Amino acid sequence: MAPRPCAVIGVGQTKYKRRRDDVTLDGLVREAALRALEDAGATFDDIDAIVIGKAPDALEGVMMPLLSLCDALGAIGKPIHRVHTAGSVGASTAISAVNLVESGMYDTVLTIAYEKQSEGNATWALSGGKSGGQGAGGTFAPWIRNYIARSQAPEHIGWMVAVKDRLNALKNPYAHLHLPDISVEKVRESPMLWDPLHFLESCPSSDGAAAVVLGNDDIAKKSGRPPAWVISHAKRTEFGQFPGRDTVRPQAGVECSEALYRKAGITNPREQIDCAELYVPFSWYEPMWLEGHLIAEEGEGWKMTDAGDTELGGSFPVNMSGGVLSSNPIGASGMIRCLEAANQVRGTAGEYQVPGAKISIGHAYGGAAQYYAMWMVSSELNPVF
């Protein structure tokens, strides 16, 4: 049997902010879920199964939280399961939900990812539960320096990404950071956190949730809402450390994108994909992922950024929504990338819409840049490239 076609038929997001102390965890996930259902023209009664994802339970101190969230998610009497694949989890949760629809066993599936960082200590948890940890930036900074050394990229590339994503975020009412006076000078002069990453080149800590309603082809056609067909998805994992590992351009990332493009029939990603939501928690990961996911040749990614190609009006827009640099509820960040990619091909991205976008990708990575999850969405079920 061939996989059953699957489409995004509804999306919902909360406002992302430093502290959502107006809602409990239950309230947070329900807010996103209800918005996604409303967008899909559906209710909880229409949902056959639920898949939730988030980063480590220790971020909020709630063990296996699907157990306490199931009431708020309308899951009573239904299947609900929980995915956890480190930082890639938001995207891999969305992909697990797609698998449920593609299996033919479930017609309509609700998937939700969230983080409420204000209820815990993210840097502690991201350091493996050890105090005095280096945090995610401390892990990635040496690899970024290695990228700069290999590619001979000028130092202003990171500042440009930091400005571009924050300017995009001004068009997105859900974004956490709205910094209208952002500038290259401000980024450059902000405190150095992990050389070469300045404070303003780093993602914020956010509370928030994102939800997607997925339906099979019958459901998508009946919904009357613009569908985003999930025409391809891929996940790859590799060890976090071993001698000879390429931490700048990890092989799992390369193979993940190869698998994604192969399944969709993409032969020239730079030309055939209209825009991308890539997981860029630190500015330099934009050029690194453009190369690491085969959108640019090796050593050429930073030139796309430098030329303005990745800006909203550029030839290959990246992170039109403002990206992880503007909102980072960790476990949800990957699902937000997938959701925003869907918004583009549904034509529902509002002020940050890429005109005529038909093909887009959502991407996330996690762990020591060792977990990858990507999906490709299309305005058409069977696009011809």
Partner 1 sequence: MVSVAEDVAIVAFEQTPSHAHFNDSEPAMIMPCVNSVIEQVGMDRHDIDFTIAGSCDYLSGMPFAFVMNIDAVGAWPPVYESHVEMDGAWALFEGFVRLQSGDIDTVLVSGSGKCSPGSYREGFSLQTDPYVHAPIGLDPRTQAGFQAQALIAAGKATERDFAEVVARSHANAKDNPYAQLSGDLSVDELLAEPYVQQPLRRLDCPPTSDGAAAMIIARADKARELCDNPVWIRAIDHRIDSHHPTLRDLTDSPSVRIAADRVGLHDGPVDIAELTVTYSPEEIILRDALGLNGETSVNPSGGPLTGSPFMAVGLTRVIELARAIRNGDGGRGVAHASSGPALQQNLLCVLEGDG
Spatial neighbors of 36 by CB under 8 A, at least 6 apart, are 10, 11, 12, 110, 112, 211, 212, 213
Report, in Å, the least distance between residue 210 CB and partner 1: 18
Q: Which member of 18, 129, 262, 350 binds partner 1 (CB under 8 A)?
A: 129
Tokens matching residue 183: 């500038």
Contact between 384 and partner 1 per CB under 8 A: no
Report, in Å, the least distance between residue 171 CB and partner 1: 34
Contact region with partner 1 (CB under 8 A), list: 125-133, 146-154, 290-298, 335-343: 125-133
Torsion 28-33-34-39 (CA) sign: positive
Site size toward partner 1, by CB under 8 A: 61
Contact between 79 and partner 1 per CB under 8 A: yes
Nearest C-alpha neighbor of 207 from the set 349, 24, 368: 24
Report, in Å, the least distance between residue 76 CB and partner 1: 6
Q: Which member of 20, 30, 35, 82 binds partner 1 (CB under 8 A)?
A: 82
Q: Which member of 34, 46, 81, 188 binds partner 1 (CB under 8 A)?
A: 81
Contact 37, 223 (CB under 8 A): no
CB-nearer residue toward partner 1: 181 or 242: 242
Q: Which member of 77, 132, 180, 313 binds partner 1 (CB under 8 A)?
A: 77
CB-nearer residue toward partner 1: 6 or 182: 6
Distances (CA, A) of 337 to 134, 173, 223: 26, 16, 23
CB-nearer residue toward partner 1: 196 or 208: 208
Tokens matching residue 200: 């303003």
Contact between 381 and partner 1 per CB under 8 A: no
Report, in Å, the least distance between residue 176 CB and partner 1: 22
SS3 267: coil
Q: Which member of 43, 67, 185, 268 binds partner 1 (CB under 8 A)?
A: 67
Contact between 61 and partner 1 per CB under 8 A: yes
CB-nearer residue toward partner 1: 186 or 263: 263
Contact between 24 and partner 1 per CB under 8 A: yes
Provide the mask over 85-114, with x wherever binding to partner 1 is found by CB under 8 A and - wherever it is not. xx-----x---x--xx-xxxx---------
What's the rounded Cα separation, in Å, for the pair 326 and 176? 6
What's the rounded Cα separation, in Å, for the pair 385 and 383? 6
CB-nearer residue toward partner 1: 42 or 256: 256
Contact 234, 263 (CB under 8 A): yes
Which residues partner with 359 through β-bridges? 378
CB-nearer residue toward partner 1: 18 or 262: 262
What's the rounded Cα separation, in Å, for the pair 85 and 329? 15
CB-nearer residue toward partner 1: 41 or 79: 79
DSSP alpha helices (H): ranges in the chain? Answer: 25-40, 66-69, 89-102, 122-126, 135-151, 156-169, 184-189, 217-223, 251-264, 269-272, 285-292, 301-306, 323-326, 330-346
Length of the chain in terms of residues written:
385
What's the rounded Cα separation, in Å, for the pair 246 and 95? 26
Site for partner 1, residues 230 to 259, rule: CB under 8 A = 234-240, 242, 251-252, 255-256, 259
CB atoms within 10 A of CB 175: 28
Q: What are phi and psi of 266, to 5 degrees?
A: -80, 130
Site for partner 1, residues 312 to 331, rule: CB under 8 A = none
Contact between 218 and partner 1 per CB under 8 A: no
The answer to whether the peptide bond before residue 3 is cis (omega within 30 degrees of 0) is: no
Contact between 126 and partner 1 per CB under 8 A: yes
Report, in Å, the least distance between residue 370 CB and partner 1: 8
Contact between 136 and partner 1 per CB under 8 A: no
Point out which residues bind partner 1 (CB under 8 A): 1-4, 24-25, 55-64, 66-68, 70-71, 75-86, 92, 96, 99-100, 102-105, 119, 125-126, 128-129, 234-240, 242, 251-252, 255-256, 259, 367, 370
